Amino acid sequence: MNRWDWMAVRAFVPAVFALVVAAGSMWIIYGWQSSPYLAGMVSTARWIPLAALAFAVVHGAWVSYRLWQAERGEGLLCECGGLLSAEHDGRYGPYRRCLACSRNVARRNYE
Ligand SMILES: [Zn+2]
């Protein structure tokens, strides 16, 4: 895989993680139904996998849109053309990390 493929993989990591959380919590909550102590929490906890699944769908759609924009040279991009990740507060101010070359880009360079 080249660095553009890895950039797409890195961009989809939160969505895949949310899918894993949805599947894992569904499995755990299914086990609670047989427990007399935890069965009462099932009706509330069953929203956790649904929320994680909804996040995965929304985040996946958002990342797909940003990758499509990046292919056209639009959106928040690094000098190398890679997607910029979410903004972080660093020691020298807010910055975003490039998902292609891993360089940190200060806010003044993408606003
Ligand atoms: Zn870059």
| Domain ranges across the chain | 1-75, 76-111
d(CA 27, CA 88): 33
Of 79, 75, 55, 52, the C-alpha closest to 65 is 75
CA of 46 from ligand 1 middle (Å) equals 40
Place of tokens 């909804």: 54
What does the pLDDT look like over 61-110, one tens digit per residue? 999 999 999 999 999 999 999 999 999 999 999 999 999 999 999 999 88
Distance 61 CA to ligand 1 centre (A): 22
Distance 18 CA to ligand 1 centre (A): 26
Residues 8-65 have pLDDT tens digits of 999 999 999 999 999 999 999 999 988 888 888 888 898 999 999 999 999 999 999 9
Radius of gyration of the chain (CA): 19
Question: What single-letter DSSP state applies at residue 61?
Answer: H
Per-residue pLDDT at 3 exceeds 90? no
Q: What span, in angstroms and rounded, lies between the C-alpha atoms of 26 and 20?
A: 10
